Structure 1
Amino acid sequence: MPLNAEVTSLPGATIYLDGQAVGQTDDTGGFILPAVSPGSHKLRITSIGHTPLETKITGQIAPQTLDFTLEGESVVTGEALVTASRASDRTATAYSNLSREDLDKRNFAQDLPYLLDQTPSVVVTSDAGAGVGYTDIRIRGTSNTGINMTINGVPLNDPESRGAFLVNLPDLASSVSSLQVQRGVGTSQNGGAAFGASINISTLDVRREAYAETQNAYGSFNTWKNNVQFGTGLLGGHFTVDGRLSRIATDGYMNRAESDLKSYYLAAGYQAKNTLVKFITFSGREKTYQAWNGVPEPALTGNRDLLQTYVDNGELSTTDAERVLQEGRRYSYYTYDNQTDNYQQNHYQLHLSQGLGQDWNIGAALHLTRGFGYYESFRANRRFSAYGLPNVVLGNQTISRTDLVDQKWLDNYFYGGTFALNYQPKNNDKFEATLGGAVNRFDNDHYGEIIWARYASTSNIRQRYYANEAAKSDYNTYARATWQVLPRLGVYGDLQLRHIDYSIDGVEDDQNDVTTRANYTFFNPKAGATFSLAEGQQLYASFAVGQREPVRADFTDRPAGDQSAKPERLEDFEAGYRLNLSDLNLLTPRTALRLEANYFYMNYRNQLVATGQLNDVGTALRTNVARSYRTGLELTGFVSADDKISLSSTLTLSRNRILDYRDVSYDEEFNPVVAAEGRTTTISYSPSAVSAHTLEGQPLKGMRLALLYKTVSRQYLDNSASEARSIQPYQVLDFRVRYALGPTFMKEIELALLVNNVFNREYAANGYTYGYLGASGQQETFNWYYPQATRNFLVSVGLKL
């Protein structure tokens, strides 16, 4: 029988049972808790602006009526600071919320993208093959350069490359209090525009009780994760201190693809009536062996004739080819023992949240990100002239080439401020509004040094052979409002104005002058409406414009002086239907049911799409296409019974097309020689079908078993839509078990096991391609892939004191 709980006049409060989110209160504050087995259970109720309530309940056969009251916070909570950038049912956009509990049950040692693998339209990949080190995420076919990421409202994406390199923040997920993934343009965010999605991360939760925790994991490929976390709770009613130390290390699935990752997180907060001040610093240091080259296609197929083609055209040496045959799909292109990427990123954030009377509050932040590091490479048989050095003359012999080791450095500062003024009336929630914005500056030095050479010519140790400086200023302001016009009809509006100034001065590693001057002003309007069909049923529709500037590589990887890369424009239409019967009396008490169908049409002008080629640091080369679009249907569903078994599923079916695309052929010097007739073709790296399914059960109290199934259809490596240049479709099944014990001497002991790729599939999740007229005089194609690990496991032990 159900337990009937009521949170008086507080709709939208989240209900957790034994750490699992089981629903939200309805418009009257009521909630039907799923039938609860006999014994003691932990109930937690949370709502922004209120003190979380935690209590124990006892499951009984007879129904019970439980009345709870959440006390209002005396201060604006940390979560209120990120409310300005979060979507809700009123903003008419497609989004997914993940709580701390959701992330914790997925968090073993893998990077954050792998924790999001079961969310709609997501495809993840790992250079080293096992989810540790350099990982990547695509949403609706868009790479992370088109995914806006923020931490506590502060931009995380690199302002130049637009990528968010989460390898620099290992174990970040252990400090996340909540996370939202918005698909499409979504709401206005600080930083660059979202062209496929945005990921909004918050670490601002205030934990009022003291705690100490540790998680220790070990798994395949000598993978280790160790962390310790602590918090003082609320001291003297005003102060909190929280911290974390983490280390993750692995040999990697690919040969010579090890990672050594370290990080810390420290937050100190002060709160008084209507005021919250919080200083946060977190940092990550990574050392990873370079695995960004991937493996040539013959390493996957074993095709010796194709392997010989790579040798004949100079793509592999005979020694490389022998190693391909020996190492197979775990082949690593590099053999130099310190072919590594070394980078450290330090973040500092100072947040203020201030209540301004009953209905207003303001959130503001100052931030500084300091990044520095290099990657080191062995270069064989390089011309002295490529490094600005004269040839070496020994007697009558002139030496024009040498082996050497170089380091390519980045040294940068990103700093600025953000603010959001929120109008959130406590006695009337029909109208809410936010005025926000940010001013940010990025300064980045790029330079290269020779640290060793077989023949040094006139160079000295740490001879600098190229240098350029980049500076980027970014200003934006936005205004957003939701208005419940009628009891069933709500409208939403969002206007953003953004200005960018960008400059580069100096030469790049190929000795080309990359001096660049670019500035842009973008106006990005958004509007939407929601209509309540009945209790628990909603229709919504929205239209949004997103515009963004080219990234650094779009300027520097072109001929000197070529600044023809154009900014991109996206017009995004979203419409959908939501059904949530979990909190209503429309189902049996044992059942929860949530469904959503979202249609999207994303119309691009001058979209920058991947050509399939990479530059020398693994960045995808891109080109503008005049007209392209993505359209599709995202279906998500969740059903649970008696908290004993649940099924969540998501399926995305999409069509991703470039109109009037002209495929270009190249000669052996990569000069264009043939442009094909224009035709409609598929956008690279855009699967037409992606699905994810999680079946979870609780056979014993405290034990949860889960099967996680992922499918991704064919992805093309370039825009030719040729199966010869594509990633084969794949399906992967993972298994997870977590067992929590509550001994008398500590809060919890949790034992967990994750088995990835249960069926031992051999598949690749990413790759790249290029081609030219080869030695045979015929057009040759060279595909490289990133194989993912076969069956592997991770086990963990978590302690909460």
Structure 2
Amino acid sequence: MKRFLLIGLLNVLALGLYAQIEDQKIEPVAIVLDKYPVSFSVLDSTSIKNSNLGQDIPILLDNLTSVVSTSDAGAGVGYTGLRVRGSDASRVNVTINGVPLNDSESQGVFWVNMPDFASSVDNMVLVRGAGTSTNGAGAFGASLHLQTQASSAEAYGEYSGSAGTFNTLRNSVKFGSGLLNDRWTVEGRLSKITSDGFIDRATSDLQSYYFDTSYKLGDSPTDGQLKFITFAGHEVTYQAWFGIEESILANNRTFNPYTYENQVDDYQQDHYQLFLDQPLSDDVSLDIGLHYTKGQGFFEEFREQDGLGNYGIADQVIGGQTITESDLVRRRWLDNDFFGAIFSTNIYQDAHNIKVGGGWNKYLGDHFGEVISGQFIPQERIGQNYYFNDADKTDFNIYSKYTYDFESGFTPYVDLQFRRVNYDFEGLALDGSGTVTPLPQTVDHNFFNPKAGLTWRGGDNSAYASVSVAQKEPNRSDYTDSPADQLPVAEKLTDFELGYRYNGVVNAGVNFYFMDYKDQLAVTGGVNDVGAYTRVNVDDSYRAGVELEANWQPNEKFEIAANATFSQNRIESFVENIDDFDNGGAQQVFHEDTDLALSPNVIAGGNIAYAPIPGRLKVSLISKYVGDQFLDNTSTESRKIDAYLVNNLALNATLAENAGFIKAIDINARVNNLFDTDYEANGYTFGYIFGGETIYEEYYYPQAGTYFLGGLNVKF
């Protein structure tokens, strides 16, 4: 197997970029990784533009080192997900211009709420491991920084359209005013994306906008700038999040168990950001940001013969017959507000660099449900809330980073962060009689997260080493599904990174990492005292591996790049709980030294590109290899996602440049899954005992076979 992987690494195709970001200022909030001993990849504006055909951001990031992307609908439009080094989206801290994006309660990121956002992004920086201190919940596996487009001094108009298999269609228009009166710029975008999806009925109807305006406070660079940004997305997607049972998958890879015509997720999210970028002197700058995000929406679902008591409705007596169940349609709502302020101060003086930053963020969220129709539902209960609870979360952090450049090429780095989290929510209580009742609860966390490291530079060579501590609070369901006396504790990560880079004829890098977890929350099948499945704290677990990257461009026509991650992702021991429907309760099975779920030991990729007309025409063969992934934490061979190797073919062509009023005409085309490979990128499993047998059920999310996307971009 190892021999196969070493040979395959030379043939597998994906994008990998291992470069040191030089000291730079990116508006409106600087993301500066220079001198920091971290492992990262960059997707610049050209790479984004060449691959953006309407698919979600996780799909655009799929070829970066240690990344695995997933798609519920199977073709990259709709609900998508991202994992880095095996860590799921709730452990990847995402910011947009320094503003936290992760949901405050679930801690995940719902990219479907931001359709075509990549069209307004200048660059994406993925930092693997604990990284450096940023705003948000903190990186427990990685952090992803998205920087929106810089203001353009020249006026422009732009149309982007793409179409392809599964009736996928994207239309987007952009405009920019250029610099007005030497002070103002105004830019915007409108987009619409529709797709039928690979999975049956997994349709997507997505709309979004982006708008920004900037104002220079004076003629001098030291006068500063104000910038206002707003963007929003509205998604209506038919649900495909149930997956496909293994017994069905072999004969019907597009099966969707949902058949109700309006089984949809309908959500709107609006973002507002205001930034002040103010140089205070030649050596000192101040950045301040205010932000507000409004989210509101529901998912609608048909329920067959659901108990009336689940909705607080008394049994109905009709024609002398007592009715206890009814077919019905319900909606479960979210209505939330997220707002706050962030800041950073940078001081550059001789060889010293000090950065002090932080943020205060507030989340207010309402959760409620309503029955909108039903066979035996009293009319007065239609549209009434059958549950309502709210949440209030406050997140404050402050950090300080310091580096010093020695003439010998060494740069030590120290990063200290304090973070405080307060969370008020409606949880559960269990009284002496065994009755479960709602109970308002409050939890507080105080985290001190120190980081330190050393970087060395000498000519084409550089090396770094670091150790970082990150701590993270449990998510909403960890709390709300647990009685007050059984609440989980916070997780702790100690991350060790050691790397080397060479930038010469060949750009190459190697990074070793050891991520040591204490009290990591993991699904074990356990049910708490109130009957809910919960994640539980696992004493000791770790992720350890090596990341390899190389890029060689012998001439302007030919380029080859490759990356690979070889890792071990283990839990030292845990107790699995299996529901026993025969006798009640659960049976326990002890496991020792097992693999963490959905954490492949091998992730590899590469890109072979040939440009017969440099700068005008390029063809790329791109592939991704992902090793076996276990569906749970037991390392059971019958419950896993098989390894897969997927090849894609991309074409990028410029048909015209500076032809009259047309500045550029570009064509992008992509044949995905070139060899029509059957594979699954995600899944889950659960087990139970029934009829004297232990039964496990596995569900998978198959990805599309060969499919095509083509796009046209015209800039005026």
Instruction: Please tell me the TM-score bracket, short chain as reference.
Output: over 0.9
Query: What is the TM-score of this pair, normalised by structure 2?
Result: 0.93
Q: Equivalents in 1 of 2:17, 2:541: separation in Å?
A: 40
The answer to whether the aligner puts 1:524 opposite 2:434 as a matched pair is: no
Counterpart among 118, 143, 157 of residue 63 in structure 2: 118
Deviation string 1:513-560 (CA, Å, 9 cap, x unpaired) is 26332110000000000123x3110111000000010000112234x4
Deviation string 1:653-706 (CA, Å, 9 cap, x unpaired) is 000000122222221399652222341111001000000111111012401101
The offset of 1:299, in angstroms, is 1.7
Counterpart among 114, 117, 124 of residue 169 in structure 1: 114
Q: Which position in structure 2 is the counterpart of 1:747? A: 663
The offset of 1:82, in angstroms, is 2.3
Q: Which is strand-richer, 1 or 2?
A: 2
The answer to whether the aligner puts 1:252 opposite 2:179 as a matched pair is: no
Deviation string 1:198-219 (CA, Å, 9 cap, x unpaired) is 0001115122221111110000
Q: Residues 614, 229 of structure 1: CA spacing in aligned structure 2 closer, same or farther, 3 A cutoff?
A: farther
AA in 2 matched with 1:657: R
Q: Which position in structure 2 is the counterpart of 1:409? A: 333
The answer to whether the aligner puts 1:501 opposite 2:422 as a matched pair is: yes
Q: Equivalents in 2 of 1:22, 1:344: separation in Å?
A: 34
Q: Equivalents in 1 of 2:53, 2:202: separation in Å?
A: 19
Deviation string 1:599-655 (CA, Å, 9 cap, x unpaired) is 00000000012448999xxx9953221100000000011111222111111100000
Alignment of 1:621-636 (within 5 A): 622-636=535-549
Q: Secondary structure at the match of 1:254?
A: coil
Q: Equivalents in 2 of 1:624, 1:463: separation in Å?
A: 37
The answer to whether the aligner puts 1:365 opposite 2:314 as a matched pair is: no
AA in 2 matched with 1:122: V
- Of structures 1 and 2, the one scoring higher in RCO (CA 8 A, sep 6+) is 2
Query: What is the TM-score of this pair, normalised by structure 1?
Result: 0.83
Q: Equivalents in 1 of 2:18, 2:578: separation in Å?
A: 55
Q: Equivalents in 1 of 2:18, 2:61: separation in Å?
A: 20
Q: Equivalents in 2 of 1:25, 1:688: separation in Å?
A: 27
Counterpart among 631, 636, 640 of residue 553 in structure 2: 640
Q: Secondary structure at the match of 2:112?
A: helix
Q: Equivalents in 2 of 1:21, 1:673: separation in Å?
A: 46
Alignment of 1:540-689 (within 5 A): 540-558=464-482, 560-561=483-484, 563-581=486-504, 592-611=505-524, 622-668=535-581, 672-689=585-602
Q: Equivalents in 1 of 2:107, 2:53: separation in Å?
A: 28
Q: Equivalents in 2 of 1:794, 1:567: separation in Å?
A: 44
Q: Residues 512, 766 of structure 1: CA spacing in aligned structure 2 closer, same or farther, 3 A cutoff?
A: farther
Residue pair 1:78, 1:276 contacting (<8 A) in 2 also: no
The offset of 1:298, in angstroms, is 1.0
The offset of 1:417, in angstroms, is 0.2
739-748 or 281-290, which deviates more = 739-748
Q: Secondary structure at the match of 2:666?
A: strand
Q: Which position in structure 2 is the counterpart of 1:48? A: 24
Q: Equivalents in 1 of 2:583, 2:610: separation in Å?
A: 55
AA in 1 matched with 2:269: Q
Counterpart among 459, 463, 479 of residue 384 in structure 2: 463
Q: Secondary structure at the match of 1:685?
A: coil
Residue pair 1:613, 1:768 contacting (<8 A) in 2 also: no
Alignment of 1:179-578 (within 5 A): 179-271=124-216, 272=218, 273=220, 274=222, 275-302=224-251, 328-425=252-349, 428=350, 430-457=351-378, 459-505=380-426, 513=438, 515-532=440-457, 534-558=458-482, 560-561=483-484, 563-578=486-501
Q: Equivalents in 2 of 1:223, 1:25: separation in Å?
A: 37
Q: Which position in structure 2 is the counterpart of 1:587? A: none
Residue pair 2:208, 2:232 contacting (<8 A) in 1 also: yes
Q: Residues 796, 112 of structure 1: CA spacing in aligned structure 2 closer, same or farther, 3 A cutoff?
A: same
Q: Residues 94, 101 of structure 1: CA spacing in aligned structure 2 closer, same or farther, 3 A cutoff?
A: same
Q: Which position in structure 2 is the counterpart of 1:7? A: none
Q: Equivalents in 2 of 1:709, 1:678: separation in Å?
A: 35
Q: Secondary structure at the match of 1:366?
A: strand
Residue pair 2:156, 2:715 contacting (<8 A) in 1 also: yes
State the structure with more CA Rg.
1
The offset of 1:197, in angstroms, is 0.2
The offset of 1:135, in angstroms, is 0.1
Residue pair 1:389, 1:458 contacting (<8 A) in 2 also: no
The answer to whether the aligner puts 1:726 opposite 2:640 as a matched pair is: yes
**Residue correspondences, number:** 687
AA in 1 matched with 2:186: V
Q: Which position in structure 2 is the counterpart of 1:74? A: none
Q: Equivalents in 2 of 1:574, 1:384: separation in Å?
A: 55
Residue pair 2:18, 2:40 contacting (<8 A) in 1 also: no
Q: Could you tell me which runs of 5 or more consecutive residues in structure 2 were left unpaired when the two chains were aligned.
A: 1-14, 430-434
Q: Residues 486, 161 of structure 1: CA spacing in aligned structure 2 closer, same or farther, 3 A cutoff?
A: same
Counterpart among 679, 688, 694 of residue 779 in structure 1: 694
Q: Residues 260, 507 of structure 1: CA spacing in aligned structure 2 closer, same or farther, 3 A cutoff?
A: farther
The offset of 1:87, in angstroms, is 2.2
Q: Equivalents in 1 of 2:465, 2:584: separation in Å?
A: 46
Q: Secondary structure at the match of 1:386?
A: helix
AA in 1 matched with 2:295: G
Deviation string 1:472-503 (CA, Å, 9 cap, x unpaired) is 00010000011113422110010000000001
Q: Equivalents in 2 of 1:608, 1:213: separation in Å?
A: 46
Q: Which position in structure 2 is the counterpart of 1:82? A: 30
The answer to whether the aligner puts 1:737 opposite 2:651 as a matched pair is: yes
Q: Percent same amino acid among aligned pairs?
A: 40
The offset of 1:356, in angstroms, is 0.4
Q: Equivalents in 2 of 1:506, 1:458: separation in Å?
A: 30
Residue pair 2:168, 2:193 contacting (<8 A) in 1 also: yes
Q: Equivalents in 1 of 2:302, 2:18: separation in Å?
A: 55
Q: Residues 569, 407 of structure 1: CA spacing in aligned structure 2 closer, same or farther, 3 A cutoff?
A: same
AA in 2 matched with 1:154: V
Q: Which position in structure 2 is the counterpart of 1:794? A: 709
Q: Residues 656, 440 of structure 1: CA spacing in aligned structure 2 closer, same or farther, 3 A cutoff?
A: same
Q: Residues 259, 530 of structure 1: CA spacing in aligned structure 2 closer, same or farther, 3 A cutoff?
A: same
